[in-house]
Structure formats: structure tokens, C-alpha cells
């Protein structure tokens, strides 16, 4: 099985791939979410792992558009606690460090820690990639922010642990595929949808009432501007349910009240 991840081995995406699918998989590394979406759309992997939202930093809005624009399907989800750590080339003193580098999302989640340092903050494409570069090139003036897996894989020394601002720092990842037929869900109880509404008064309220009347629980709603039409929005929602038949009935009614409805996936709600 080929599973694509954003970042390289040792990244948080790599950890999710291993925990979700097990160790007997081939990992395809992508250094951007755009590359990840392209690879999946082209059918060069069976599945891909994509971060979609964080409990501190919020939704990764461009990734919703990538799933939509590439007609990808969500077939599962996975949550992990993100514990950021500061790591350096073995033996390097923190006072000798000039730069601290990591993915922009990781830097944002460690904002309070970084505000207390006099180091230069450098954004990079991946947490684990910074760690690997430090070791490969014997870089001794830069510290990386990454997970413990990266430190172990690339032989770096962890000098500060759990430096994220909020200790309960959780990220939700979705498992995506080009083909809906690759779904691995049994008795699905969660769905991800997109809909576009007219400008009629109460149109969004009507949709929410339909969901509630069919015993669907709205767990996420995200509005995203429709670029071609100023001040018009599409809505991305996640909803859980206990009765699949009621979900399909609700979807039919939502479709009748919307200009457009798109189902990204029906899958198993992750329970930690």
C-alpha cells in the first residue's frame, strides 16, 4: 500500500500514517500540500494523510479547497496530540543557537516560547525536514521544532520538551483518496459535505434545522469565499449521525434547499 504524507519520515504526518495503517506501507514524501493533492489526484498513491485543523491554530483552510478542487474523497480521520520539542545537533549549547526553524504551523503553536527568545525565527516546509538537514549538514547554529520521532530518527538532541503554548494541542488529520471505492469504513457515522446557498434570508438556518430534525450533530462548519463571486461563500461541514438512513434523507433535503451540494466522504468518526 502506498501512502503519501506531507513532509518526510519523522514528521507528524508520518506518525499518523503508521498509526492509522500500520508499519507495512510504502511512504511517499511530499514537501507541500499542493504536491500531496496532485499525487493523490494522479492516482500515484492509494491514500494520503492531510492535516485539516488544529485545536490551537484552527482550520487549514487551503486544504479544504485542495480536497474540493482535486475531487478527492475523505475516507477516514485521525487525531493526535502534538507535542513540540526543541532539538539541536548533539552537544550544541542553546546559547550558541542563532536560528529556530520549523513549519509555520508549528511556530505558531509555540508562539509564547518563541517570544521569550532572542533567536531568529525561520519558516520552513516541514518540521522533520529541518531536523534531517541539521544532522545531514552538521548545522550547529540552528534548532528545529519537531516531534520526538524526528529527533530519534535523525539523531538530534532534545533540549526543551513540550514547548507548545497550549499543552493540550490536538490536530485532526483526514485520510484521502482519489477513489471513493477505497473507503475502509464499516457502519459509517460521520460525513463531510460542501454546500452553496442562495442569498435568501434564513437559508443557512434552514439547512441547520434540517440537520437537527434528522438527529445529525454538526461538529464543524467552515465558510470559504467563492473567488469568482465576491461576497458569496461555500460552507464545508462535518456532521455525525447514528442512523445512516436519516443521514441520506437529510442530505436529500439539504440538496433541495441548496444551489449545490457535494459529499466529500462518509466514514467512521474517530474515537480517541
Q: Give me the active site residues, please.
A: 171, 173
Do residues 192 and 230 lie in contact, with contact meaning Cβ atoms separated by under 8 Å?
A: no
Q: Within its chain, how far is the Cα of 50 from the centroid?
A: 4
Strand partners, 270: none
187: left (phi over 0), alpha (psi -120 to 50) or beta: left
**Angstrom distance (rounded) from CA 83 to CA 63:** 22
- Residue 2, strand partner residues: 26
User: What is the Cα gyration radius of the chain?
Assistant: 21
Q: What angle in degrees, to the nearest 10, is found between the helix axes of 203-213 and 244-256?
A: 160
Please answer whether residues 144 and 156 qualify as being in contact, where contact means their C-beta atoms are separated by less than 8 angstroms.
yes
Kindly report the number of other CB atoms within 10 A of residue 162's CB atom.
13
C-alpha to C-alpha distance for 81 and 159, rounded to whole angstroms: 20
Name every residue whose Cβ is closer than 8 Å to that of residue 55 and which is 6 or more positions away in sequence. 166, 168, 169, 170, 171
Amino acid at each position: 500500500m502506498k501512502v503519501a504524507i506531507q513532509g518526510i519520515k519523522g514528521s507528524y504526518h508520518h506518525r499518523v500514517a503508521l498509526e492509522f495503517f500500520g508499519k507495512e506501507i510504502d511512504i511517499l514524501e511530499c514537501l507541500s500540500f499542493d504536491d500531496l493533492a496532485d499525487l493523490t489526484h494522479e492516482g500515484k498513491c492509494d491514500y494520503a494523510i492531510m492535516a485539516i485543523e488544529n485545536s490551537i491554530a484552527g482550520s487549514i483552510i487551503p486544504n479544504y479547497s485542495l480536497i474540493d478542487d482535486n475531487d478527492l474523497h475523505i475516507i477516514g480521520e485521525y487525531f493526535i496530540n502534538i507535542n513540540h520539542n526543541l532539538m539541536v545537533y548533539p552537544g550544541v549549547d542553546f546559547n550558541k543557537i542563532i536560528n529556530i526553524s520549523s513549519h509555520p504551523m508549528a511556530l505558531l503553536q509555540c508562539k509564547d516560547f518563541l517570544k521569550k527568545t532572542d533567536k531568529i525565527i525561520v519558516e520552513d516546509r516541514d518540521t522533520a525536514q529541518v531536523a534531517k538537514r541539521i544532522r545531514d549538514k552538521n548545522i550547529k547554529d540552528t534548532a528545529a521544532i519537531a516531534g520526538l520521532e524526528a529527533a530519534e530518527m535523525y539523531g538530534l538532541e532534545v533540549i526543551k520538551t513540550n514547548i507548545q503554548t497550549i499543552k493540550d494541542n490536538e490536530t485532526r488529520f483526514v485520510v484521502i483518496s482519489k477513489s471513493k471505492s477505497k473507503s475502509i469504513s464499516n457502519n459509517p457515522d460521520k460525513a463531510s459535505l460542501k454546500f452553496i446557498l442562495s442569498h435568501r434570508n434564513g437559508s443557512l438556518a434552514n439547512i441547520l434545522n434540517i440537520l437537527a430534525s434528522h438527529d445529525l450533530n454538526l461538529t464543524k462548519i467552515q465558510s470559504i469565499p467563492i473567488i469568482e463571486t465576491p461576497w458569496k461563500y461555500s460552507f464545508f461541514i462535518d456532521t455525525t449521525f447514528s442512523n445512516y438512513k436519516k443521514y441520506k434523507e437529510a442530505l436529500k433535503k439539504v440538496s433541495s434547499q441548496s444551489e449545490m451540494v457535494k459529499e466529500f466522504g462518509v466514514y467512521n468518526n474517530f474515537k480517541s
